[in-house]
Amino acid sequence: MRNVRYFSKQNEKFNFKLHKIFDISEIENKIRLFNSEWLIDTSRQNMYVPHKNTNTYFLIEHSNHWQYGDMYMPQFKCLDKELWESVKPIVKYLESIIDGKMGKVVLINLPSGKDILEHQDKGDYLDIVRRFHIPIITNENVWFKVEDEVKNMKAGECWEINNSKPHSVKNEGIENRIHLMIDIMPMIGVNSYNAKI
């Protein structure tokens, strides 16, 4: 079995990669109606200090504590089948370009005037997955920083970020910023896979 470092992003030179622009209008229409949905699962913002200002809605969950060699078992959490049907083609596209399987698929709401503190993601799961951010609702005053590079991502753009490097976000606009975050685990890093999705 190869060492986990073989699959790591830590030594890769990129901070951001723009892959594609998606039509996210159906997803946007659904989440503009969200209210109590943001309170279904508050574990991410309660557990991780950098994310304390965010609200999340899990479509697919996977443990951050996964270690290389473990069974890979994403869990379906989405309560809105129409929303999942709108997101699924994006997930399938990303699985195809990475030759991998989905991990976390999460909507992340960062309210106006709030930030996500600088942090580096650690552990086998977070070090191996390819992490994509797609702004669904955003504004010209949202700043996503990886190391010393800063981007203002536009709605529908699909950006891969190197989450193994220090990264942070600031929403200095007057509207909440909502991203769709999708993790894809390369199949080369997965020994065994079990998902009922």
Phi (first) and psi of residue 29, to 5 degrees:
-60, -40
Model confidence over 8-17: pLDDT tens digits?
788 889 999 9
At residue 192, the pLDDT reads 54
Residue 33's domain spans which residues? 14-183
Tens digit of each residue's pLDDT (9 = 90 or more) over 12-43: 899 999 999 999 999 999 999 999 999 999 99
Q: Which residues pair with 76 in a beta bridge?
A: 60
Residue 6 lies in a domain: no
Q: What is the pLDDT of residues 113-158, one digit of tens each?
A: 999 999 999 999 999 999 999 999 999 999 999 999 999 999 999 9
Q: What is the arithmetic mean of pLDDT over 150-175?
A: 97
Residue 81 covered by a domain: yes
Residue 100 CA from chain centroid, whole number: 15
Q: Is 147 left (phi over 0), alpha (psi -120 to 50) or beta?
A: left
Whether 189 is covered by a domain: the verdict is: no
- Measured between alpha carbons, how far is 194 from 197 in angstroms, rounded to an integer? 10
- Total number of residues shown for the chain: 197
The CATH number assigned to the domain holding 102 equals: 2.60.120.330
Confidence of residue 79 (pLDDT cuts 50, 70, 90): very high
Number of domains in the chain: 1
| Mean pLDDT computed over every residue of the chain | 92
Q: In this structure, what token pair is assigned to residue 75?
A: 């869990």
> What does the alpha-carbon distance between residue 10 and residue 144 come to, in Å, rounded to a whole number?
19
Residue 172 located in a structural domain: yes
